Structure 1
Amino acid sequence: MKENQDFLKILDLNKVHTSVFERKFMYLSDVIDPIYRDYVIRLERAGYTLDLDVLRPKHQVENFLALTKIIVSYLNHVLKTPQKGNIIISMNTAGDTLADIRPISNFITIKDDSTIITVEQREQYAILGAKVKSRLGFGTTIQIPITEPYDKL
């Protein structure tokens, strides 16, 4: 149980805002920056480089708890593996396709060029809403949808 709550220590829950429609959200920078500060040195000591490519730091994120849990649990997994490599956390916008009618338009993507995760771990991330690709020789890509509080007209 303690391990499941470790990710909450990283977030400053005083930075949770309430939207016009009474929905809770955090700004993306308030989620990503503390994770980066907490893990960059530990990952460098383990032989990894951690890069951020988040162009919209003031983007509103409603699913900040799931987002934080996925990123933190993945980085903790990486610290336990003997491989060395590069990890990039970036924000991407989904392309407009006719087949996908979901309102999700932005994603956080974690790209790791060396770590492979098991099927059980992929299922745990999928339960939290992430899409995972992990192949030997290609590494792991985790795509986490960003839910917004829909205050925009």
Structure 2
Amino acid sequence: MQGQSISKFLDATKVHTSVFDRKFMYLSDIIDPIYREYLIKLEKIGVNLDLDVIRRRHQVENYTDIIKFIIGYLNSRLKNPTKGNILISMNATSAQSIDITPAKYHLVITDDSVVMTVDSSEQYSALGAKIKSRLGFGTSISFPIREPYDSI
């Protein structure tokens, strides 16, 4: 079932090839169709979905993983009727960070009303995400954006 969901958002005409023959999609081509698909569904259960993406034309090499990450979270959120707000944003990693991942940018899903279970946290961690989840503060999941020129 998830394979069908992913293929729905994976438009082959939106996949480009970089100078180094590496495939990528623009972030807007990934996020916009997902946003349009889930906005009304989430509003029906009392959840507001917002976007705050600083570089919409950003090139993303791990577009399949990002699609899985976003729709996986939104599908699980549809099963939880807790009202709240979800923000999908893009953050730049600071130069002072002690993070060992080479990614300069991360896609972040912030949900102010859900605390993530240990099992769910492990599933997202296995995909390379970092999770912060606390009662009263909600959940923040950060997923690295790999650029087609990151590791040449």
TM-score of the pair, normalised by structure 1: 0.92
1:76 maps to 75
Amino acid at match of 1:124: Q
2:29 corresponds to which residue?
30
State the 1:61 CA deviation: 0.3
Match of residue 117 from structure 2: 118
Offset at residue 12 of structure 1 (A): 1.3
Q: Distance in 2 between matches of 1:106 and 1:148?
A: 9
Equivalent residue for 1:53? 52
Aligned to 2:18: 19
- Percent of aligned pairs sharing the same letter: 59
Q: C-alpha displacement at 1:134, in angstroms?
A: 1.6
Unaligned runs of 5+ in 2: none
Moved over 4 A (4+): none
Structure 1 vs Structure 2 CA RMSD: 1.5
Larger CA deviation: 91-100 vs 32-41:
91-100
Q: Specify whether residues 118 and 31 from structure 1 end up closer, same or farther in structure 2 by C-alpha distance, changes over 3 A only.
A: same
Q: Secondary structure at the match of 1:58?
A: coil
Deviation for aligned residue 1:147: 0.4
2-structure distance, mates of 1:98, 1:119? 25
Alpha-carbon distance between aligned partners in 2 of 1:91 and 1:145, rounded to the nearest angstrom = 10
Closer/same/farther in 2, CA of residues 51 and 98 from structure 1, 3 Å limit: closer
Correspondences of 1:102-117 after superposition (within 5 Å): 102-117=101-116
Aligned residue number for residue 88 of structure 2: 89
Amino acid corresponding to residue 126 of structure 2 in structure 1:
I
**Structure 2 SS opposite 1:7:** helix
Work out the CA distance in 2 between the residues paired with 1:98 and 1:132: 16
- Following superposition, the deviation at residue 7 of structure 1 comes to 2.2
Structure 1: state its 5+ residue gaps: none
The answer (yes or no) to whether the contact 1:91–1:107 under 8 Å persists in 2 is yes
Q: Which residue does the alignment assign to 1:146?
A: 145
Q: Residues 4 and 116 from structure 1, CA distance in 2 versus in 1: closer, same or farther, beyond 3 angstroms?
A: farther
Q: In 2, Cα distance between the equivalents of 1:4 and 1:121?
A: 19
Cα deviation digits, residues 30-76 of structure 1 (max 9, x gap): 00001100000000011010000012110000011111101101011
User: 1:64 corresponds to which residue?
Assistant: 63
Number of residue pairs aligned between Structure 1 and Structure 2: 150
